[in-house]
Structure 1
Amino acid sequence: MEFKNIKHNKWAYRDIIGQDPLLGIFKSSRINFNNFVSGKKLSGKFKNLTLKKDAPNVIIIICDALRDDHISLNDYHRKTTPFLDSLSEKLCNFYNSPFHTSSCTSTFCGVISTLYGVNFEELSSTNLGIHDLLHYYSYKLSFILSGSHRSYYNLTDYYGKHIDNYFESKDIKYISPKIPASSDRTLLAYLNSTQFKYDKNEKQFMYFHVMAPHEISFKENIVYSVGNKNSKSDLINDYDNGVIQADNILRDLYYNLKNKGLLENSMLIITSDHGQALNQTKNFLHYGHGFWPIAETINIPLLIIDRQNNYRNDYSTKIDLYPTITDRCFENPEIINMLLPGISLLKKSPTSRKTFHLGELRNYGEPSVSIIESSNGIPLYKYLFNPSDKKAYLFDLKASKGEEMMIQNDSILNILKNDHHNYLKMK
């Protein structure tokens, strides 16, 4: 069955740019969204890459709204990720980033930056997704997704036209109508169906999107009681139940892929698109995501299971995944990596680095922006602009990964404030 995309409104990213296209912060008009993938062709520089003979399968699993500080793997006080905990103990090739961030606070831009290696506001029609690049080098592409990605600002436009296996959870009615379309178990049903075509001897690129912990899709095995969700404890309990559910789905996906032989030579990446605010950050109290790029909404896990484990053990951000994958798959990745803003996790961190993170815009006329400054992979400062009060804040990341330690340093603050304004001018 062929599914046709609905026509895309080039201003549909309204949660970021608001209802005012004149805002121009993201200059969405520089991209013709309707034709974004229709004319994609590899230019000469991409055709000069040499695929490694032992290039791995590349498997990315994004768990929607998963925070790095609510998984027991990272010493959270509740046992929320028993599967990941056990896997990290059993496998010597299990990498757990000490500090990883999303480029933004929503699914659309979090997925885009994963696949394209740039922040959404830097995306242009010349960018090539890692999936399309690997497809050119004979990888089979599978997008196996919980949720309705045709409705997420037409994310499917960015997934391209070369997909061998495409599944969204609402399509479960064609496979197993008894499973609710809202359930992450639809992913497993699809993998076990005859519709999923694969040959373990062919190289595979696979992207899974798991809706937990953002949405709890089945009610059994709920660990923490949740009332009417009016209290902070109710909302934290509800979120932690979702993390446990994500861990359960990760376990089932892992063993399903392993039994199919797809993990024998693979680079398995487990991460998130963004975090989730649980009303815990002073001056930025709220529930959900999409607003301020605070630690609650951009600090996310990055786990890599790979037979080579030389990944650098320091700060990284979402746009670093693309060059890391090309480093693993190609003999001469510098041909493409030199064009990317991210830093491969197989390369040393730069002496000085600033990464930019944006929140969705709703009512304030300009986006909330944060800048993380690091040196040799060690995070130093976080600049955070709040459009609701028009104030800029500075936090000491050497003391804490979050916004617990606010500091006063006008010299550093003014430099980062200037970086903030220059960054938006360029977009």
Structure 2
Amino acid sequence: MFAGIFWGTIVCLVEVVLRLLAGRSFLTPAMIPGIILLYVVYWALVGVTFTIASRLAFLRALRPNGIVPALAIGFTLHAVLIRHLFSELVPPGSTILWVLCYGAAIPLGIALGRGIGDFPRGRHTLVVLSCGLALAFGSYFMAGIVKAPGRPGVTDRQNVFILMIDTLRKDHVGVYGYPRNVTPHLDRLARDARIFDRAYSTSSWTHPAIASLFTSQYPSSHGVETKVSSLTGRFETLAESFEREGYRTGIFSASAFVPEIYGLDQGFQHEVSMGKPAYEKLLITEYFGRTAGKIPLLPWRGRDLITLFEEKCRPALLKDWLTTPRLGDGFRRWVDRIGDENFFAYVHVREPHAPYVGRGNYAPPGPVDFTYGASGGTLYPFDTATPVPGDSLRLRIDKYDDDIWAVDRTIGDLFYWMEERGLFENTIVIVTADHGEEFYEHRSWKHGTSLFEELVAIPLFVHVPGAAPARSRDYVSMIDIAPTLLDLAGIAIPEAYRGHSFAPLLRGDPRFEPRSEIFAELARAPGAEAQMLLVDGEKVIQYWKPSREVVELYDLGEDPGEQSTMIARDSIRANALLQKLRDTIEEARLIRGSTDDVELDPNLEKQLRAMGYLE
């Protein structure tokens, strides 16, 4: 057992030190005691096993003091190789690699055991374990002194803060005319900012929209279009651009599309998110997740062990969601830690998203069902629709407004803290949404089913220190935000970006050339997709379903609710817009990057299903 505890602590300390030296560690002081305990317990069990085995007559040649370090060496060598060099290796190649790693380590360990004799004894183990505990508790005292890992930061530029409010409809915000006072704190900021009346997302659900925000690419280009698509490193992300210039970068996300799992953490040095717990990033847990089912003695499917651990030890799904107050606390602690260094922060709050909770302000707390609605697939147009009683519709809207009101109150607390810290004097603040929400305007609920205005028109207001408040009716797309922020910060905009900077508009430059059109798209499944193009108030939408193709044309000036298609009355204009739409689609797909599909573990599936992304 002493051998196991000794070498387990050694392996743990090596991993902690290497991760801290790497410059982009997810480790926090609070995690280190648990990490040390995990390694010590695991390797102590290994040591006990071989101690008992060595007492058997036919296994007396085994010396735990040799076998245990041999396994530790083989484990570390194999884990590093499959993590960095052979991550896609499958049998029989993975088995051969396993045999080679442990085959090389066992003779070395046995020789080491013979050379050190009875080492380690209890006193040696106590010394090493004490060093580990000293690191664990010492990290608490150092947390407020040591800066965040990474390259030296900058202090002479403006900070950048993006607040993404999931599922927030534009017409439920006070500055856009909503009669209910559910967003007083957002309205207060908006009155000191540039308000955009015609801002649009690139899709009607979270995953592709956020990837567009970070890469300044349309979904057809970045390839993140389904619930399992993962962003690859082909495109430089907004966070990577800021990190390259010395900014501290942090992401605080309650979205079910967990940044690390889906590749959305690229360029972020600090991450607070839901879904994938930090222990899965450790060498020991990642090792079993990657090798299970690929090497001898581990016949289970890839994630069975970790899934079992989660089912027994993790809290219930609703308790596991990161609430807006928790994200705000994480942001405040991070800003305190990095001091005066400039930062780029992305905060993604979730509460307006279904399932609506209700706070007792406009509606009583409690769940609400969605038994009424459309059938015939997940993409408009639907085959049938059940009429919705008026009181049921009102209840859903009331609960939705309650959740917006609760989020706004917490955001107000965060804004007041930023004011007290003087951050608004040196911070560019963007408030927006990834998409809207439908309340049966087109025979469906929630989002991700169509490209109508209630889903793709988003709130957007930008606070730039020193800039006068104003209102703009120019078209703005989600892909325009990244180049605008880089432009405002004086950072070179990557050539691959598809968006247009509207920084000249914010500076009051009369030479600003506004965007002439808006493009958005939606892919629900193979053969089920939709695209839209908006030009001068006229909007064409094409829906592709396995059974049919539907094209609709709307004049938003005459029909802002998109209730009466003009396709039969103005086929010439519709065909011209449709051809332009298809040219845009073809252009976007020409630069499409490769994507990786992620494996949805049961916990992540539950999160996505609870939020309506899985049936």
* Alignment TM class, shorter chain as reference: 0.7 to 0.9
Say if 1:153 and 1:107 are closer, same or farther in 2 by CA, change over 3 A. farther
Name the counterpart of 2:40: none
Q: Secondary structure at the match of 1:368?
A: strand
2:359/2:399 contact within 8 Å kept = no
Letter in structure 1 aligned against 2:324: D
Question: What is the CA-CA distance between 1:61 and the residue it aligns to?
Answer: 0.8
Residue from 413, 420, 428 that aligns with 1:252: 413
Question: What is the CA-CA distance between 1:87 and the residue it aligns to?
Answer: 3.3
Alignment of 1:321 with 2:481, yes or no, is: yes
1:215/1:242 contact within 8 Å kept = no
1:356/1:371 contact within 8 Å kept = yes
d(CA) in 1 for partners of 2:415 and 2:534? 33
Larger Rg: 2
Residue from 548, 556, 561 that aligns with 1:397: 556
Letter in structure 2 aligned against 1:323: P
Residue from 154, 158, 161 that aligns with 2:264: 158
Alignment of 1:406 with 2:511, yes or no, is: no
**How many residue pairs end up in the alignment?**
363
Name the counterpart of 1:55: 157
1:104/1:110 contact within 8 Å kept = yes
d(CA) in 1 for partners of 2:576 and 2:480? 24
Name the counterpart of 2:330: 190
Question: What is the CA-CA distance between 1:85 and the residue it aligns to?
Answer: 2.4
Q: What are the residue-to-residue correspondences of 1:100-115 with 2, within 5 Å? A: 100-115=199-214
Residue from 354, 358, 365 that aligns with 2:517: 354
d(CA) in 1 for partners of 2:532 and 2:250? 33
Say if 1:84 and 1:216 are closer, same or farther in 2 by CA, change over 3 A. farther
Residue from 134, 149, 167 that aligns with 2:272: 167
1:372/1:383 contact within 8 Å kept = yes
Q: 1:164-186 CA distances to partner (integer Å, 9 max, x unpaired)?
A: 32111469999xx9994322221
Q: Secondary structure at the match of 1:154?
A: coil
Question: What is the CA-CA distance between 1:65 and the residue it aligns to?
Answer: 0.7
Question: What is the CA-CA distance between 1:251 and the residue it aligns to?
Answer: 1.1
Alignment of 1:203 with 2:362, yes or no, is: no
d(CA) in 2 for partners of 1:108 and 1:402? 25
**Structure 1 runs not aligned, ≥5 long:** 5-33, 39-51, 374-378
Quote the sequence identity (%).
21
TM-score by length of 2: 0.53
Name the counterpart of 2:176: 74
Question: What is the CA-CA distance between 1:144 and the residue it aligns to?
Answer: 1.0
2:203/2:521 contact within 8 Å kept = yes
Letter in structure 1 aligned against 2:451: P
d(CA) in 1 for partners of 2:218 and 2:177? 30
Say if 1:399 and 1:323 are closer, same or farther in 2 by CA, change over 3 A. farther
Letter in structure 1 aligned against 2:271: Y
Letter in structure 2 aligned against 1:98: D
Question: What is the CA-CA distance between 1:86 and the residue it aligns to?
Answer: 3.0
d(CA) in 2 for partners of 1:202 and 1:217? 38
Name the counterpart of 1:240: 401
Say if 1:412 and 1:198 are closer, same or farther in 2 by CA, change over 3 A. farther
Q: Secondary structure at the match of 1:344?
A: coil
Question: What is the CA-CA distance between 1:263 and the residue it aligns to?
Answer: 2.9
1:171/1:181 contact within 8 Å kept = no
d(CA) in 2 for partners of 1:315 and 1:54? 32
d(CA) in 2 for partners of 1:308 and 1:372? 33
Name the counterpart of 1:86: 188
d(CA) in 1 for partners of 2:408 and 2:514? 36
d(CA) in 2 for partners of 1:76 and 1:220? 19
d(CA) in 2 for partners of 1:186 and 1:245? 13
Say if 1:280 and 1:304 are closer, same or farther in 2 by CA, change over 3 A. same
Letter in structure 2 aligned against 1:99: R
Question: What is the CA-CA distance between 1:360 and the residue it aligns to?
Answer: 3.2
Q: Secondary structure at the match of 2:533?
A: strand
Q: Secondary structure at the match of 1:256?
A: helix
d(CA) in 2 for partners of 1:390 and 1:104? 19
Say if 1:153 and 1:207 are closer, same or farther in 2 by CA, change over 3 A. closer
TM-score by length of 1: 0.74
Letter in structure 2 aligned against 1:103: T
2:217/2:499 contact within 8 Å kept = yes
1:278/1:286 contact within 8 Å kept = yes
d(CA) in 2 for partners of 1:414 and 1:217? 41
1:292/1:369 contact within 8 Å kept = no
d(CA) in 1 for partners of 2:532 and 2:260? 24
Letter in structure 2 aligned against 1:396: D
Question: What is the CA-CA distance between 1:397 and the residue it aligns to?
Answer: 2.5
Say if 1:53 and 1:95 are closer, same or farther in 2 by CA, change over 3 A. same
Alignment of 1:138 with 2:251, yes or no, is: no
Letter in structure 2 aligned against 1:371: L
2:203/2:209 contact within 8 Å kept = yes
2:236/2:494 contact within 8 Å kept = no
Letter in structure 2 aligned against 1:190: G
Q: What are the residue-to-residue correspondences of 1:229-308 with 2, within 5 Å? A: 229=369, 231-281=392-442, 285-308=443-466
Question: What is the CA-CA distance between 1:277 and the residue it aligns to?
Answer: 1.1
2:200/2:518 contact within 8 Å kept = no
Question: What is the CA-CA distance between 1:3 and the residue it aligns to?
Answer: 6.7
Say if 1:147 and 1:127 are closer, same or farther in 2 by CA, change over 3 A. closer
Question: What is the CA-CA distance between 1:228 and the residue it aligns to?
Answer: 4.3
Letter in structure 2 aligned against 1:224: A
Question: What is the CA-CA distance between 1:125 and the residue it aligns to?
Answer: 4.6
Higher RCO (CA < 8 A, seq sep 6+): 1
d(CA) in 2 for partners of 1:327 and 1:352? 16
Name the counterpart of 2:288: none
Question: What is the CA-CA distance between 1:225 and the residue it aligns to?
Answer: 4.1
d(CA) in 1 for partners of 2:423 and 2:355? 27
1:275/1:289 contact within 8 Å kept = yes
Q: Secondary structure at the match of 1:326?
A: helix
Say if 1:84 and 1:192 are closer, same or farther in 2 by CA, change over 3 A. closer
d(CA) in 2 for partners of 1:99 and 1:402? 15
